[in-house]
């Protein structure tokens, strides 16, 4: 009850993304440093998720493909913080997503992206 939303909880932990952005670039200035032991533990858990064969590990590896390591670790720790907040406030156990479902969704997303690119280039794709 101390934190009204998961955004407040993530901000208190120092895991929320910066909002000082203009035109897609971070604004200059001092970013307040937050030292939270729970956040440090979540960052360690996130960095070890790289080799994990779970949904969180797969999403962390996908983040590593598109951003640098420090940002990916912080984003995965933020994801873990949101999961923890949801479990504590709703009183429900964590239900792990199936890796087959995640890979199927990822494959479908990649196929849709290829279709969009092909139509943009004027090429027609045929399924084999």
Convert the pLDDT of each residue in 60-95 to its tens digit: 999 999 999 999 999 999 999 999 999 999 888 888
Statement to judge: residues 62 and 103 lie in one domain: no
If asked whether residues 83 and 103 sit together in one domain, one would say no
Residues 90 and 114 in one domain: no
SS3 56: helix
pLDDT for the residue numbered 82: 93
88 shares a domain with 112? no
| Number of domains present in the structure of the chain | 2
What pLDDT score was predicted for residue 101? 82
Q: Does residue 52 share a domain with residue 31?
A: yes
Residues 69, 12, single domain; the answer is yes
Q: What is the pLDDT of residues 20-56, one digit of tens each?
A: 888 888 888 777 778 889 999 999 999 999 888 888 8
Residue 45, CB-side half-sphere exposure with 13 Å CA sphere: 16
Q: Domain span at residue 117? A: 98-128
What pLDDT sits at residue 126? Answer: 83
106 three-state secondary structure: helix
58, part of any domain: yes
Determine, yes or no, domain membership for 1. Answer: no
Q: What is the mean pLDDT of residues 121-125?
A: 90
Q: Which one, of 85, 116, 98, lies nearest residue 7 by Cα?
A: 85
In the prediction, which pLDDT does 125 show? 84
């Amino acid at each position: 009850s101390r934190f009204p939303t998961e955004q407040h909880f993530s901000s208190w932990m120092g895991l929320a993304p910066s909002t000082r952005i203009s035109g897609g670039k971070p604004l200059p200035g001092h970013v307040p440093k937050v030292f939270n032991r729970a956040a440090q533990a979540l960052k360690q858990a996130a960095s070890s998720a790289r080799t994990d064969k779970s949904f969180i590990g797969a999403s962390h590896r996908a983040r590593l493909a598109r951003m640098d390591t420090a940002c990916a670790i912080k984003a995965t720790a933020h994801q873990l913080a949101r999961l923890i907040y949801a479990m504590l406030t709703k009183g429900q156990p964590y239900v792990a997503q199936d890796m087959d479902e995640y890979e199927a969704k990822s494959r479908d997303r990649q196929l849709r992206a290829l279709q969009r690119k092909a139509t943009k280039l004027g090429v027609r794709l045929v399924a084999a």
